[in-house]
Structure 1
């Protein structure tokens, strides 16, 4: 039997036939799968349905329109302590922030010249006094004329005045506290030559402090007198003060504003008053930040809010109408939103609110519209929002 005959028999054997059929079937399945993959289109990637948004909540604290100004602390009751005469400082006993009692020594001048003058005046006084007494005895006895006695009396009175003046001059070399208080500032150094009436130390009386700042003319014109009077009485909180970088703010009363503009500017100095804080040291000359409720002070209509620039947008369909996007939480999330809390899975939608831009500043826009305290507005991505868009509040994670 030749080779071709043996190959034919192997191909026709049952085992070989079964293996070939299996290969044919497997090939058919691969072919069918490939054709199906080519004929069916790819399923599109599903787009994100819920977008994170950054929100800002409208606050009713201060009526929504708060103006901030840099201010300077001044004591309500303060004294610039100075010498009545000039000279060299020999002792400077106080420093800023130090408590002093009434009559306590503040500073002392070199008193050598004053002591010399006092000694000379004392000698002249003693001599004039002795001469006056002898002349008085002699005139009573008729030993001298009345004119000579009058001369002796005048010399005695002049020496007495010079002696008293020399005593005063010596006392003027000592500077003492006129009342108990706190040394706010010491603008001189020891051993410095100072002039008469030059400020040696600023003494403030504890209790009340003032904060002054400059307000532009257009804002001063809008101040309502009745509101200002209420602010002076303390009926309404119209202003708050921050000291340094501290976050705590202290309520202050509106006190007064100048009747004339500051030199070289169209602004007026305004003064607030408040009790001296007990938890921090506040001295005259320190810086402060004033937050003034202009809406309350001017009697402006309610419903004005200061928001970031990014929150106010213009749509292509209505380029002349400013709008904001208000966050509307789901019903299940309303309780947490009302309580001020935010869960990680909080979701909601946005709705469009038409607003009117009243003022634009470097710190945002003042707007009015159908808004209320507690409303949350979209501040990041507001230009890409559409009505009914599903969103969730973006919560800043730790470390970001």
Structure 2
């Protein structure tokens, strides 16, 4: 009697299990292969990095030029971008109404002078009282004041540059009617520029104390302005003003730095850049700078880096606290120490305990 197909299959399964039991032991789970990564060592020099504070260029002197009186513009002899000397006529109003007012005030002044002379003669002849003479003198004083005011109004119909500068922008059209104090054009100095930056309080509290002019000079020797359009031409700069009270919203301190544009360059207000400040030797910064590429965001958006363990040649997730961003580096205010080594490549493919080794350049 032939065995059934079911019995044949069962026998085959038992044989296979027996052979498997007699074979080689089950291999252990494959271990990840050590991966080459770039490692960044936080050295002693990192504690004295150059701090960078972004900002934009503005003119040291800027004025929204406006007439002191109202009227219709009859001439704007300057153009945008034109450089003007102090006293140059920038715009003129129609002066006819003010000239008429001046002529009226002059006539009243002349009449008051004649009246005063008549009262003085009458007072000498004892024909009028002293009170009448005093009234004539007051009338003359009022008439002279009105004439001065009317004369000044005519002078105010001519708008002149108060300093050497450049016409940055015209704000009204030719022959427009303008009100007193209404800006007509913007005048900016072009021989000196400044940049205003915001210094975080964490860095401000560790900055040099300013107690004298010598302290300012020492700080000035350590700062410079770097324009985005001229990254390879740092410009010597100096602190011209700084706030001693933090902004209540941003908790930063405003610092104004003045500089003179390099010869042959066309530096204009509105250009962007940063102020670089070299911390003095031996001065501890508010933290350590690490490459931006080394920082990763956890699922809850908390920042961390992959800290390298030399003994096990593995990396582990290490939380950090971040400060200001400076170009391609970011300030780490806590979580790392000098001498730590962190991964700066392949950071999005690593995991806790992953074996790595230094990538040779």
TM-score under structure 1 normalisation? 0.58
Measured against aligned partners, the alpha-carbon deviations of 1:25-48 in whole angstroms (never above 9, x if no partner) come to xxxxxxxxxxxxxxxxxxxxxxxx
Q: Distance in 2 between matches of 1:231 and 1:179?
A: 31
1:55 shift after superposition: 10
Matched, 1:84 2:80: no
Q: Is the 8 A contact 1:357 1:368 kept in 2?
A: no
1:97: how far off?
A: 3.6
Quote the Cα distance in structure 2 between the aligned partners of 1:78 and 1:298: 40
- The alignment status of 1:273 with 2:258, answered yes or no, reads yes
Q: Distance in 2 between matches of 1:277 and 1:62?
A: 31
- Against the structure 1 CA distance between its residues 113 and 358, is the aligned structure 2 distance closer, same or farther, given a 3 Å change threshold? same
| 2:337 is aligned with 1:386 | no
Distance 2:48 2:200 in 1: 21
Equivalent residue in structure 1 for 2:194, among 210, 213, 224: 210
Q: 1:144 to 1:68 in 2, by over 3 A?
A: closer
Cα deviation, residue 69, structure 1 = 1.5
Alpha-carbon deviation of 1:74? 3.5
Shift in Å at residue 86 of structure 1?
3.4
C-alpha distance in structure 1 between counterparts of 2:99 and 2:120, whole Å: 31
Q: Which of 282, 287, 311 in structure 1 is aligned with 2:271?
A: 287
Structure 2, unpaired ranges of 5+ = 1-35, 296-304
Per-residue deviation, residues 119-162 of structure 1 (Å, max 9, x unmatched): 21122222222333344445445566655544444333332222
* TM-score, normalised by the number of residues in structure 2: 0.63
Alpha-carbon distance change, 370 to 147 in structure 1, aligned in 2, over 3 angstroms: closer
SS of 1:272's equivalent in the other structure is strand
Q: 1:200 to 1:222 in 2, by over 3 A?
A: farther
User: How far apart are the structure 1 equivalents of 2:121 and 2:234?
Assistant: 78
Q: 2:90 aligns with which of 97, 106, 110?
A: 106
Q: CA deviation at 1:211?
A: 0.8
Matched, 1:319 2:303: no
Which aligned pairs between 1:82-231 and structure 2 lie closer than 5 A?
82-141=66-125, 148-205=132-189, 207-225=191-209
Residues 42 and 339 in structure 2, CA contact (< 8 A), matched pair in contact too:
no
**Higher fraction of helix:** 1
Q: Which has the higher Rg, Structure 1 or Structure 2?
A: 1
| Alignment CA distance shift 1:265-1:365 (3 Å) | closer
Change (3 A) 1:57 1:192: farther
Cα distance, 1:117 vs structure 2 = 1.0
- Aligned mates of 1:218, 1:187 — CA distance in 2: 42
Q: What SS does the corresponding residue of 2:230 show, helix, strand or coil?
A: coil
CA distance in 2, matches of 1:64, 1:89: 56
Query: Higher relative contact order at CA 8 Å, sep ≥6: structure 1 or structure 2?
Result: 2
Quick check: 1:183–1:201 contact (8 Å CA) kept in 2? yes
Partner Cα separation in structure 1 for residue 129 and residue 66 of structure 2: 50
CA RMSD across the alignment: 4.5
Partner SS for 2:266: coil
The verdict on how the C-alpha distance between 1:206 and 1:291 changes in structure 2, with shifts beyond 3 A counting, is closer
CA distance 1:141–1:240, change in 2 (3 Å): same
Alpha-carbon shift at residue 296 of structure 1 (Å): 4.1
- TM-superposition CA deviations, 1:307-346 (whole Å, max 9, x none): 3424974458343488xxxxxxxxxxxxxxxxxxxxxxxx
- How many residue pairs match? The answer is 300
Query: What is the aligned partner in structure 1 of residue 247 from structure 2?
Result: 262
Matched position secondary structure for 1:155: helix
